[in-house]
Chain A
Amino acid sequence: MLPHLDAAFNLARWLTGDERDAEDVTQEACMRALKFFPGFRGGNPRGWFLTIVRRTCWSWLERERGRREDLEFDEELHGGADLSGSPEELLLRQADIEAVHQAIAELPPEYREVVILRELEGCAYKEIADITGIPTGTVMSRLSRARRQLQITLSTHPSRGGHS
C-alpha cells in the first residue's frame, strides 16, 4: 500500500511521543494526502507526503502545548524541554538504544524533527528545508545544536564497541 507509511509513522511517533497519537496523526495525514493528491505535481513523493505528516503533527503539538501552557520555542535560549515525565513504554532491551532513545526524546521537537529526518530517514538538507518550511541555514544550525545536545547527553552513556 502506501510506500511511505513507515517513514510517516516514524516521524509522527517521534514528534508526538505516543503510539496511539502517532497512529491518529498518520491516519489524518493520509486522509489529507488523498484530499490534496490531485494537486500533487510530481517531484519528490516522500517529501510531499512527509510535509503533510509534519504539518499534521505540528497542529497536534500546538493543541497539546496549549493544553499544558504556552511553551514558546526560542532558537537561542531554550534549555531543552523536559519530557522525562512521559512514560517510556517501549520494550527496548539494549541499554545503549534506550539511552539514545531517551536522548532524542529529550530534544525539543524543533530539533527532534531535523534529527529524525536527517539521521533516521536520510533526508538531504534541501529536502528537510522543503518538508519543514524552514531555510536550509536554519536546518543546518538546528541539526548542529541537536547533535551537540545529543553528544552531551550521551557522553554519560558511552557506546559499547565505540572508539577507545
Chain B
Amino acid sequence: MNCEQIQPLLEAHHDGELDAANTLAIEHHLADCPQCFARLRNLGDLRTRLGNDALRYRAPEGLKGKIRAAVESAAKAEQPATPTRVFWARHGWSAAAAALVAAFVLVQVHPGRQDDVLLAELTSSHVRSLMVNHLTDVPSSDQHTVKPWFDGKLDFAPPVKELRDSGFPLVGGRLDYIAGRPVAALIYARQKHFINLFIWPSAPGVSDPSASARNGYHLVHWTNRGMTFWAVSDLNEKELMDFAGLWPAEP
C-alpha cells in the first residue's frame, strides 16, 4: 500500500473500525512512512483535545424533575383511549420510568448477549485507551491501592486481583463508559501487550469464557460472582483464554 491508498483507511484505522488485514497493511506502512505516521498522530492529538471531559455537557439536576412533572401531567391530561395510555395513566411516571429503566438495564447487561455494538464499543475503548495515553486513572500494581480507588466512583465493587505470579502483572485501573454505564477497567500486561478487563454488574448466573474477535483484537467474555467480564487485547486467543481462566467462579 502507498500513501494515497492509505488515506481513506487511516481514519477508519484511527477509529478502530478496520478489519485485521487492512490494519496489518496500515501498520506495515506506518512503520516506514513518517508522513502518514504524523497524520495519525495528529488525529490522536485531536482526539485527546476532544476527549476533555469539560466538553461533555451533563444534564442539569433540575431536568429530571421537570421531565417527571411533564410526564405526570401528560398522563393525567390524556384520556385513556388505548391500552398503553391506560397503563401510563394508571401507573403514572414511576411505573413508566421503572419499566423504561428496567428494559434499558436488562438489554444492556443480559449475559451472553454479544451484540455487535457492544463488541465495537469494547474494542474502540481498548484501542482508545492505548492511543490517547489514557490507559490508567490509577497506575498501580497493588490491588490494595486499585480496589479502594473505585470506591465512590462506581455503584459496585469490582474484584481486583494481582496476577503477576501467573504472568499477568496488574498495571492499574481506569473508569470507562460501556453500554451506556460507568464500568471498571482493569489493565493487565503480558510482555509488551496490554489487556483491558472491563467489569460491570450483571444478573446472577455463571457463563464460561467464550472468545470472539473484532478488527484483529480478541475479546473473551464470561460471567460469574454477579459480574460480567470482558477482556480485550491484541494478545492471541489462547493466552487471553488462559487469562480468563484465572478468574474462576467462587465455589
Contact = CB atoms under 8 A, between A and B. Distances in A.
Interface of A: 1-10, 13-14, 19, 22-23, 26-27, 30-31, 33-34, 37-38, 40, 42-47, 92, 94, 96-97, 100-101, 104, 115, 118-120, 122, 124-127, 140, 143-144, 147, 150-151, 154, 159, 162-163
Given A122-B124, A143-B11, A44 B100 contact: no
Interface residues of B, number: 54
B42 A46 contact: no
Nearest to A144: B11
Given A10-B56, A100-B52, A3 B120 contact: no
Interface string B96-122: 110111011101100000011100110
Interface of B: 11-12, 15, 17, 41-43, 45-52, 54-60, 63-64, 66-68, 70-71, 74, 84, 88, 96-97, 99-101, 103-105, 107-108, 115-117, 120-121, 124-125, 128, 177, 179-181
Contacts of B177: 122
B67 A27 contact: yes
Given A31-B71, A42-B107, A96-B49, A3 B57 contact: no
28 contacts: A1-B64, A3-B104, A6-B59, A8-B59, A9-B58, A14-B57, A19-B60, A26-B59, A27-B63, A30-B67, A38-B84, A43-B115, A45-B103, A45-B108, A46-B180, A100-B52, A104-B50, A118-B15, A119-B51, A122-B121, A122-B124, A122-B177, A125-B17, A126-B120, A140-B12, A147-B43, A162-B48, A163-B45
Contact of B56 (A31, A120, A151): A120
A6 B60 CA distance: 9
B11 A6 contact: no
A2 B59 CA distance: 11
B49 A154 contact: yes
Contact of A2 (B43, B52, B97): B97
Given A2-B67, A92-B54, A100-B55, 12 more contacts: A1-B68, A3-B104, A3-B181, A5-B59, A8-B59, A9-B59, A9-B63, A23-B63, A33-B100, A118-B15, A162-B48, A163-B45
